[in-house]
Amino acid sequence: MAHLENLVLCRESQVSTLQSLFGERHHFSFPSIFIYGHTASGKTYVTQTLLKTLELPHVFVNCVECFTLRLLLEQILNKLNHLSSSEDACPTHITCETFNDFVRLFKQVTKAESLKDQTVYIVLDKAEYLRDMEANLLPGFLRLQELTDRNVTVILLSEIVWEKFRPNTGCFEPFVLYFPDYSIGNLQKILSHDHPPEYSADFYAAYINILLGVFYTVCRDLKELRHLAVLNFPKYCEPVVKGEASERDTRKLWRNVEPHLKKAMQTVYLREISSSQWEKIQKDDTDPGQLKGLSAYTHVELPYYSKFILIAAYLASYNPARTDKRFFLKHHGKIKKTNFLKKHEKCLRCWVSDLQRPHGAPCSAECFLSCRRTFLPTAFLELPLITSLVTLQLLTLVGHDDQLDGPKYKCTVSLDFIRAIARTVNFDIIKYLYDFL
């Protein structure tokens, strides 16, 4: 048991609850246990280490991977088959299509000598995916013990509370176990636990303390913190390696690493630059400011007409239809006509006669932007432009996909983005937006 406590930190109460639930090997356990808690709160790790160290027969399945019923059930059965017939080198592959078959096959498999007289555990990780599968699956798993008449316990792991799972037809209520978030003390303890062998535990604990001081406000994800700790540790040891400071010289070390960590928070943590790039920077000691992050590349190149369609779509998405007249009618008075119309009237007119009008009569600029409300394919020559904008996720199709004759689109870009686009075609979009009047 002491061994287990070394492996699983800060989860003593949960471990003891689970252990008492499991009982002795031959005891019947609770039919189904539902464990939930936030990301990286040790659900999977605790269950896995517990089952492994106690050497209980178990099957561990990740539901993300098993995206169909068949894959899920077959995986469980085949893994069980492996467990029961460990002496046979090559057990036959079991195929299973429905839950009904599963129950039958499960009985067969658990008949084996090695699985007799002890509880078999089936752990379903990311159980929230079960909700999207067949309706009988979740209730079926919850009362698997009853259905198969075998000593079996199903453990469901999820990040979502049990209330969101409950099917409306009712089901067997599982035993619900909550894994609370780690406190800062817990995090400190866990993170300090995996210190590198070449440095003392205290030295590493001091480092973790600094790290948590910087990152705890933004991130409590243990996995992420571990990753960051590993990534930035070489920088922390740098003075020690160079011989400029001793391991005890915490203040100096802190001053060295703190700005570095803050920079990391803005870059690596947000995945602006990759961790391999970050390591390279660390090694070469270059200024990270030189390396542009992902969001520095905001510039999008679009063909001229696409830009106009995008602008028109943006206006159409965010201006109420009744304000069209106000913005685009020449002598409406409310707005003083900008130079834009005079300057661009020619190009817009071309655009309009090309795009919107089946007849070649001259048309004014207001037509162009107000006729955008009818994005009809037959009336719209530039449909390829629109579809390309949709694939770029700048426009999205709203309404039903199957509507062939009147698709409607909505512009999904941000105001900053559309302003940048409008600036390249010398269009002052702010003056045409109802929200800015």
Partner 1 sequence: MATSSVSKGCFVFKPNFKKRKISVPIEDYFNKGKDESEDSKLRFETYHLIWQQMKCETQRLQEELNKNLFDSLIEFLQKSHSGFQKNSKDWGSQIKLREIPTAALVLDLKHFLQKLVSQLMDCCVDVESKEEESAQKKTHCSMDSLSSWYTNVTQKTDPKMPRKKRTSSQWQSPPVVLILKDMESFTTKVLQDFIIISSQHLHEFPLILIFGIATSPIIIHRLLPHAVSSLLCIELFQSLSCKEHLTTVLDKLLLTTQFPFKLSEKVLQILTNIFLYHDFSIQNFIKGLQLSLLEHFYSQPLSVLCCSLPEAKRRIHSLSDNQCENIRRLPSFRRYVEKQASEKQVALLTDERFLKEEAQSLLENLYVYHTNYFLVLRCLHQFTSSLPKYPLGRQIRELYCTCLEKNIWDSEEYASALQLLRMLAKDELMTILEKCFKVFKSSSEKQLGSTAKKIEELLAQFQSLDEAKEEEDTSGSHSKGLQKTDLYHLQKSLLEMKELRRTSKKQTKFEVLREKVVNFIDSLVREYLLPPDTQPLHEAVYFSAAHTLREHLNAAPRVALHTALNNPYYYLKNEALKSEEGCIPNVAPDICIAYKLHLECSRLINLVDWSEAFATVVTAAEKMDANSITSEERNEIIHARFIRAVSELELLGFIKPTKQKTDHVARLTWGGC
What residues line the site for partner 1 (CB under 8 A)? 39, 62, 64-68, 70-71, 75, 194, 196-197, 223-224, 226-227, 230-231, 233, 271, 274-277, 294-295, 297-305, 354, 356-361, 363, 366-367, 370-371, 374, 376-379, 381-382, 384-385, 388, 391-394, 404-406
The residue (of 27 and 223) whose beta carbon lies closer to partner 1 is 223
Q: Which is nearer to partner 1, 224 or 258 (CB)?
A: 224
Q: How far is the CB of 148 from partner 1 (least distance, A)?
A: 24
Q: Which is nearer to partner 1, 1 or 376 (CB)?
A: 376
**What gap in Å lies between CA 45 and CA 66, rounded to an integer?**
20
Residue number, 103 or 383, with CB nearest to partner 1: 383
Q: How far is CA 426 from the centre of its chain?
A: 38
Which positions ≥6 away from 373 have C-beta within 8 Å? 316, 321, 324
Closest CB 9 distance from partner 1, rounded Å: 16
Please check whether residue 268 is in contact with residue 231, taking contact to mean a CB–CB distance below 8 angstroms.
yes
**Closest separation between CB of residue 339 and partner 1, Å?**
17
SS3 of 132-183: the string is: HCCCCHHHHHHCHHHHHCCCEEEEEEECCCHHHCCCCCCCCCCEEEEECCCC
Rounded to the nearest whole angstrom, what is the least distance from the CB of residue 338 to partner 1 in the complex?
20
Residue 377: strand, helix, or coil: coil
CB of 156 to partner 1, least distance (A): 18
The whole-angstrom separation of Cα 76 and Cα 78 is 6
Q: Which is nearer to partner 1, 31 or 407 (CB)?
A: 407
Closest distance of CB 75 from partner 1, Å: 7
Residues 6+ apart with CB under 8 A from 96: 70, 73, 74, 77, 102, 105
Contacts for 118 with CB less than 8 Å, ≥ 6 apart: 25, 26, 56, 57, 151
User: CB-wise, 175 or 417, nearer to partner 1?
Assistant: 417
